[in-house]
Amino acid sequence: MRGPQESLPLVRASRVVGRWGISIAILFVLLAGIGGTARAQSAAPKRTIVHPGRILDVRTGQMRTNQAIVIEGDKVAKIAPADDVKPASGDTVIELPDATVLPGLIDMHTHLTFELSSLGYSGLGISTAREALLGAKNARVTLEAGFTTVRNLGAKDYADIALRDAINDGDVIGPRIVASGPALGITGGHCDENLLPPSFNYQGDGVADGVEAVQHKVREVIKYGADVIKICATGGVLSKGDDPSASQYTLEEMKAIVADAHRLGRRVAAHAHGAEGVRWASEAGVDSIEHGHLMDDAAIATLKKNGTYLVPTLFLTEYMQANLEHSNVPEFSKKKMRDISAAAQQNAKKAFAAGVKVAFGTDAAVYPHGLNAGEFHVYVKLGMTPLAAIQTATINASDLLGPKFQVGTLEPGKWADVIAVDGDPTKDVTVLEHVKFVMKGGVVYKNEYAK
């Protein structure tokens, strides 16, 4: 064992090494700071300046002229008088002098991985992989139609989750997707698979019966990536063996679904045609009723009282009335579609007049993807102003999605989702059926004005 004198050289050496170590550490910190600053400067977001003829403020209906939209990266940085915004070296400037621009549209009810031909018996021969690829095609068509955000409510085997992730990763072009994965439903209900004989002993991915089972299913679909929970509260039109007016999930089952979904940060959309199912779903606390085509006055009053959104999906009734007899939809579905179509628009008209909150949704797949904007003129026909109809697909839909989705308006901090059309959509809402410019997240995907 060394004495006190023998250990002094070691102490002095350690102090010297310690000082050098501190100096080296400080040097590394300084170098790291310089490097970090350089990286921050080199990674400064790209700036894009859009000069439109007019900007529609979807909150007020005001048309603003002589404005510039400044976009940094994927977000709107500011909107200011054009004379106050001077392009700098490296900026991209987009001139749309004759166009009206407004926020990217939002469709709250799509089925990108389906088409009408896949919803009957022929759909049994389509694999999940094929449906996902079909979804890639439909996603691009939907984006180019001006819909920069959609809710996809129901897909087999999480095909819509895969599509969402592929778009987010830049592998596929399409809108921002809020996806549900498989829709939850009862055995033999609208969200089950009812076309196969008993020997297959097959159930839909989202089938769950009873409070404990539905709680488990909510947690399961969230585990596999669901952004929103879709449930079937009543029978449907294109399904076999069920009645659209009949309730399916009980009030207790739906309350359990909503409680788990909300606790886990997911909103709930309820497919519901019949009046009782609409009332029960609203009382259970769902965030939106999808369709509501067979509502009665009591159901409408319940939606109004609870502040539940209605997503009406009405253009499909016009499209199917014109094309139903020439489609390959099974006869049992054709009969239900005829019955539903007669009542759907009148019941929606009552809901609009009563002041029920409305968010835009189409059920695209029941008619061809890309025709989504046909929904607007139906709302106007049933009593909405064109501006109110536009608000269903912008500020209302954004409110229903929730605050983490920064969409629905052109404001600093929101996603740079911008579309442009000719004319004034607050006077003629059908101009939205002919979108000529589409930007999503600061990236231009369509620009017919550049031709």
What are the catalytic residues? 230, 363
Cα(323)–Cα(128) distance, rounded to whole angstroms?
27
Q: At what angle do helices 374-381 and 331-354 cross, to 10 degrees?
A: 50
**Which residue, 401, 291, 393, is CA-closest to 351?**
291
Cα(281)–Cα(443) distance, rounded to whole angstroms?
39
For 59, 74, 92, 100, the CA distances from 77, given in Å and listed in that order, are 19, 9, 14, 19
Residues 122 and 328: beta-carbon distance below 8 Å: yes
Tell me the residue ranges of DSSP E strands in 225-312: 228-232, 267-274, 288-294, 309-311
**Which residue, 396, 379, 386, 378, is CA-closest to 421?**
386
Tokens in use for 168?
A: 């987010």
Cα(435)–Cα(373) distance, rounded to whole angstroms?
9
Backbone φ, ψ for residue 360 (5° rounding): -70, 130
